[in-house]
Amino acid sequence: MSLKIAVIGAGNIGAALIGGILKSHLADPKDVVATDARDERRRELAEQWKIRMLPADNREAAAGRDIVILAVKPNIIPAVLNDIRGVLKKNQIVISVAAGVPISFIESVIGNKIPLFRAMPNIPVVVEEGATAVAGNHATTPEQRKLVEKIFGALGAVVFVEETHLDAVTGLSGSGPAYIYMVIEALIDGGKKMGLSQEVATRLTEQTVLGAAKLVRDSKLHPAILRDEVVTPGGTTIAAMHELEKRGLRAMLISAVETATLRSREIAAQITEKFAASSPPANPTIRKSVRKSARKSEKQRASSRRH
């Protein structure tokens, strides 16, 4: 049976989700609707996937859908939630990929009886090699969890975590591609410094990184064991490893994950504080819930600074 799915926001992540949904046969093109404010983007995706595209009618898109995916920027989440809350029903699943927007805020607008998942995918989902972490609210069921896993599983690896761990996920896999791009760039430059052409250095580097990652994933061995298989006494690799240890590569990467995690917490707190300040006086429930979330985020920041 084809599910009826709405994707609100058709940027890079939203478009990747549309592709994953259709390729995994969760829905037929006729049962998928997406929204985007850009005329050219709507034409492009309608032609590519044969789905229905709407300019900005989020309410129409969400009404009667089995799954509603919120793939918009965090700053417009309040407006989108206000658009759709009147048409959402308890049997619908809502999935948010808006970075930094807590489940508690979304629930304060649409209620806590609707099954709600918050997901943190990374950019390689656009080539179906992404890493996505998902947290759900108390209204979700094991069957719904399996369904969400299938959606994101079409785009790469999926793990389920507590929502409190999503900042660490952001620091690791969310920002992680940028760390790896920097490593790739440096390896290419190293090859060029030693006389290789740009083309040769790039091809060798990209395959080396891809192959190493695949070996870690497929072998299930600890990276240290795989590394030791490459190292020979008195050889080139152990000499290079010594240099990397002296330069502190390992410590720098650990610190990068830590720094990005702490920054993610700060951004989440700023987002909730902004929502609290902008919530209309006529909606005190939202204001109270968001302020509570902001205070919780501030406590987490203070705890992180102490440690």
What 3-state class would DSSP assign to 186?
helix
pLDDT digits (tens, 9 = 90+) for 217-261: 999 999 999 999 999 999 999 999 999 999 999 999 999 999 999
pLDDT of residue 286: 54
- DSSP for 99-130 reads TT--HHHHHHHH-SSS-EEEEE--GGGGGT-E
* Proportion of the chain above pLDDT 90, given as a percent: 84
pLDDT of residue 282: 42
Q: How far is 124 from 103, CA to CA, in rounded Å?
A: 24
Q: Give the domains, in start order, of the chain with CATH numbers.
A: 5-164 (3.40.50.720), 175-247 (1.10.3730.10)
Q: For residue 130, is pLDDT > 90?
A: yes
Contact 95, 121 (CB under 8 A): no
- Eight-class DSSP state of 170: I
Half-sphere exposure (Cβ direction) of 73: Cα atoms closer than 13 Å: 4
Distances (CA, A) of 190 to 123, 181, 232, 235, 283: 26, 14, 21, 18, 58
Residue 268: count of CB within 10 angstroms of its CB? 25
The chain-wide mean pLDDT, for the chain, equals 92
pLDDT of residue 290: 58
- Average pLDDT rounded to a whole number, residues 21-34: 95
Q: For residue 216, is pLDDT > 80?
A: yes
Q: For residue 205, is pLDDT > 60?
A: yes
pLDDT band, very low/low/confident/very high, at 274 (cuts 50, 70, 90): confident
Distances (CA, A) of 281 to 84, 85, 182, 295: 20, 18, 47, 19
pLDDT of residue 294: 59
Q: How far is 163 from 24, CA to CA, in rounded Å?
A: 26
Angle at 17 between CA 269 and CA 153, to 5 degrees: 95
Alpha helix (H) residue ranges in 24-172 = 39-49, 58-62, 77-84, 103-110, 142-153, 166-169
pLDDT digits (tens, 9 = 90+) for 90-104: 999 999 999 999 999
